[in-house]
Structure 1
Amino acid sequence: MPNGIWKIDKRYKGERIQESTGTCDREEAEQYLIHRLEQLRQEKVYGVRPVIQWQEAATRYLIEFQNQPSIWLTAIYLEQLDSYIGDLPLARIDDRSLAPYIKDKLQGGASNRTVNIALERVIRILNLCARKWRDDNSKPWLDTVPMIAKLDEKRASRKPYPLSWEEQSLLFAELPDHLRRMALYKVNTGCREQEVCKLRWEWEIAVPELGTSVFLIPAEFGGRREQSGVKNRDERLVVLNDVARRVIDGQRGLHPSLVFPYGNPDQFGPTAVHRMNDSAWRKARVRSATKWEEIHKTPAHPGFASIRIHDLKHTFGRRLRAAGVTEEDRKALLGHKNGSITSHYSAAELDQLIDAANKVSATDSRAPALTILKRRQG
């Protein structure tokens, strides 16, 4: 009886029943067992539709959609859900049965959006059970799909927080060297986290006319996983301003294939950094927020105290806008889909993008003035 929930483990006419009753009440659990035994009797005697458990549906989904780019992420969520609803019949998957999962995830620090991603997978699978998948008698696995409520993301979501130059200086000073280089590159290119962590030398393309180079991340790039892909399914052009160029030049010779390897630079054994948002990042932001308070005698802005890796991309975009860079050039620099084929840029167009990126290449207050209106806390 894990977590106080009664579980059935019984043999009936040669068939073993192993599933949750979904209740902590013994009397209710016994009534459910009687109900299930009667269902099995009707299945065997009258050919009534068998009861299918969530785990069977989830497994079928993973097999049928194994070629989806995001199936690895779906597998993670389904594995998390399994201990909560894995042995429940499909007809019992609803808000009530999902409530313990939602509660535990939120208490563990997950965002409303993260929980909703899991719920969306549940809804998708239940829809397939009702509309597509059939048993041996051509009956749907599920009669109707319940209305599963998702969490409010707008109220709970944290808004992007672009760094000021002083905040950047304080934060980067607290980062370990390898992470500082990656962060400096990211805030000057607007790359996504995995586009930095897994950056490869083979993606670098020389531009002799300009005496520089760019990176062209292939559309099939997998991010953390083999098939996760570039976000908009296009090649991603990465233009290097002066700061990003110096970072890249400082990485040459450290590894034959990885631009940002982690480990002993004298050995070609290190692997790519799995993610930038690690304990070193989290500890650094705490220390930098403390230093801000020591310097200014006032608490750091909550956005700075909880600064995220993705906020570096927002910082780059906000600085481009403040420097007067056109929307079209901002989209190109940030890797947003705008109908262009990135690999077809001319040298003149690349020169224009490099010039635009260099408008935010300073690392201190000498950069273009950037005023960010922030709501006073407290």
Structure 2
Amino acid sequence: MSLYKRKGSSIWWYELKDASGKRVQNSTGTEIKEHAQELHDRLKVQFWEQKRLGVKARRTWHEAVIRYLSEKSQKKTLETDRSHLRWLDSYLGSRHLDEINRDLIADITKARQQSYEIARKKGPPRKIDPKSSTVNRTLEIIRAILRLARDDWEWITVCPNIPMKKEPTKRVSWITREQAETLLSHLAPHQQSMMRFSLETGLRRRNVTHLEWGQIDLERRLAWIHPDQAKAEKAIGVPLSKEAVLILRQQWGQHAVWVFPYNGKPITQTATKTWRAALKAAGLPEGFRWHDLRHTWASWHAQDGTPLHVLQELGGWASAEMVQRYAHLSTQHLAHFVDRRVGLKLVGGTDVFPTVQLLAIKKG
């Protein structure tokens, strides 16, 4: 029978064969038989059109998410994607992909900007005011899945344009050598070692906290990051300075595997209460992150005259664009151009105050 009720239920269910001949059973969600029959007949026509006329089956957001997570199972930021997808579930849920339009995207964008609270084990809940970057990461997930559904899976023929929120251009956050020494003096010994090594190598947080002795050759003064550990998924060779080698020798013997262990295990969290207390004691902004030590390392290199293409290779950046944020700190190659002018000139080209006269005026 095509329509039926389950024992003890007042809801009508349907049973049909889809375009592939597979039996499909599902609830109609209604107690009214006429409405259930209408849904049944509509689905029957859709299955017939798919089989006989080649009409594509309508796919849901849930189906797309399942396939996306399966295909992206090796993605490093997959857990972050899952977090965004969980938030989106209440808005997209079982909707069909062809129902996702600009109006719905606008509603999602507006909702994502709303403040919310996160409960804490102790103390009052933490209030979160989502930034434009957070909103954009959520929208990017929607865009990525819809484009896969259109271009790769051929589930839909069109997808809506998804405008991104404008993100403010951030200044590179770095500290001076004096500030770094002050911060170090307020950290625990195990944090001091990691921070000093980070400032010597510019390695990302996890590449330091999970560094293994098998990745280090002290004789050749070299460390390396495997492709699966690197953000750009390319192996990185890390030349070690004398200071970096000294730090590693001091760590030798603390653990058979991990270079910077804490209680026998690699550190998983650096934004700790101790870190925040050290920032406050050192007079540094509370928003200064461990990752900003990498920015500090790069900034110092740029100030010391390291060419940007060399800095790119040292830092393992995939593109030169990522290194340009430090270009304003490196102006040595421009210095000799500054002194080429001999004085102020009129439109006609005559010197107004030649350099010799300016010097005489200053002395007078």
Whether 1:314 aligns to 2:321 is no
- Offset of 1:87 from its aligned partner? 3.3
Compared CA separation, residues 237 and 321, structure 1 to 2 (3 A): same
Whether 1:147 aligns to 2:161 is yes
Whether the aligned pair in 1 keeps the contact of 2:28 and 2:39 (CA below 8 Å) is: no
CA distance in 1 between partners of 2:88 and 2:271 (Å) = 25
Whether the aligned pair in 1 keeps the contact of 2:225 and 2:236 (CA below 8 Å) is: yes
Among 225, 250, 257, the alignment partner of 1:217 is 225
Which SS does the other structure have where 1:238 is aligned? Answer: strand
- Offset of 1:128 from its aligned partner? 2.6
Which SS does the other structure have where 1:94 is aligned? Answer: helix
Which SS does the other structure have where 1:237 is aligned? Answer: strand
Long gaps (5+) in structure 1? 1-9, 19-29, 135-139, 222-229, 264-269, 290-299, 340-378
- Offset of 1:326 from its aligned partner? 3.3
Q: Deviations along 1:251-296, whole A, 9 cap, x unmatched?
A: 1111111111121xxxxxx32112423343234323332xxxxxxx
CA distance in 2 between partners of 1:206 and 1:174 (Å) = 29
Compared CA separation, residues 41 and 128, structure 1 to 2 (3 A): farther
- Offset of 1:41 from its aligned partner? 4.2
Long gaps (5+) in structure 2? 1-10, 15-24, 50-55, 118-126, 321-364
Match of 2:193 in 1: 181
Among 68, 72, 82, the alignment partner of 2:89 is 82
Q: Which has the higher contact order (CA 8 A, sep 6+)?
A: 1
Whether 1:166 aligns to 2:174 is no
Match of 1:97 in 2: 108
Whether the aligned pair in 2 keeps the contact of 1:85 and 1:98 (CA below 8 Å) is: no
CA distance in 2 between partners of 1:132 and 1:175 (Å) = 50
- Residue type of the partner of 2:163? A
- Offset of 1:332 from its aligned partner? 3.6
Which SS does the other structure have where 1:215 is aligned? Answer: strand
Whether the aligned pair in 2 keeps the contact of 1:40 and 1:50 (CA below 8 Å) is: no
Compared CA separation, residues 105 and 271, structure 1 to 2 (3 A): farther
CA distance in 2 between partners of 1:220 and 1:102 (Å) = 34
Among 106, 112, 120, the alignment partner of 2:132 is 112
Match of 1:6 in 2: none
Whether 1:280 aligns to 2:287 is no
Among 147, 165, 173, the alignment partner of 1:127 is 147
CA distance in 2 between partners of 1:35 and 1:88 (Å) = 20
Whether the aligned pair in 1 keeps the contact of 2:112 and 2:130 (CA below 8 Å) is: no
Which SS does the other structure have where 2:222 is aligned? Answer: strand
CA distance in 1 between partners of 2:312 and 2:249 (Å) = 25
Structure index of larger Rg: 2
Q: TM-score, length-normalised on structure 1?
A: 0.63
Match of 1:294 in 2: none
Report the number of matched residues: 278
Whether the aligned pair in 1 keeps the contact of 2:238 and 2:314 (CA below 8 Å) is: yes
Which SS does the other structure have where 2:172 is aligned? Answer: coil
CA distance in 1 between partners of 2:149 and 2:46 (Å) = 22
- Residue type of the partner of 2:250? G
Match of 1:197 in 2: 209
Match of 1:249 in 2: 249
- Offset of 1:70 from its aligned partner? 4.7
Whether the aligned pair in 1 keeps the contact of 2:223 and 2:239 (CA below 8 Å) is: yes
CA distance in 1 between partners of 2:204 and 2:165 (Å) = 26
CA distance in 1 between partners of 2:187 and 2:28 (Å) = 54
Match of 2:240 in 1: 240
Q: Deviations along 1:75-128, whole A, 9 cap, x unmatched?
A: 343234324432333314522135323435796255433432232121111123
Which SS does the other structure have where 1:285 is aligned? Answer: helix
- Offset of 1:37 from its aligned partner? 9.0
Compared CA separation, residues 95 and 41, structure 1 to 2 (3 A): farther
- Offset of 1:73 from its aligned partner? 4.2
- Offset of 1:59 from its aligned partner? 0.6
Whether the aligned pair in 1 keeps the contact of 2:218 and 2:245 (CA below 8 Å) is: no
Whether the aligned pair in 2 keeps the contact of 1:84 and 1:100 (CA below 8 Å) is: no
Compared CA separation, residues 36 and 126, structure 1 to 2 (3 A): farther
- Residue type of the partner of 1:253? G
CA distance in 2 between partners of 1:37 and 1:58 (Å) = 30
CA distance in 2 between partners of 1:37 and 1:99 (Å) = 38
Whether the aligned pair in 2 keeps the contact of 1:214 and 1:239 (CA below 8 Å) is: yes
Aligned residues: percent identity? 23
Q: Deviations along 1:148-192, whole A, 9 cap, x unmatched?
A: 221212x2x532111012322332223222222211211121111
**How well do the aligned residues superpose, as a CA RMSD in angstroms?**
3.4
Whether 1:60 aligns to 2:67 is yes
CA distance in 2 between partners of 1:64 and 1:273 (Å) = 30
Whether the aligned pair in 2 keeps the contact of 1:105 and 1:115 (CA below 8 Å) is: no
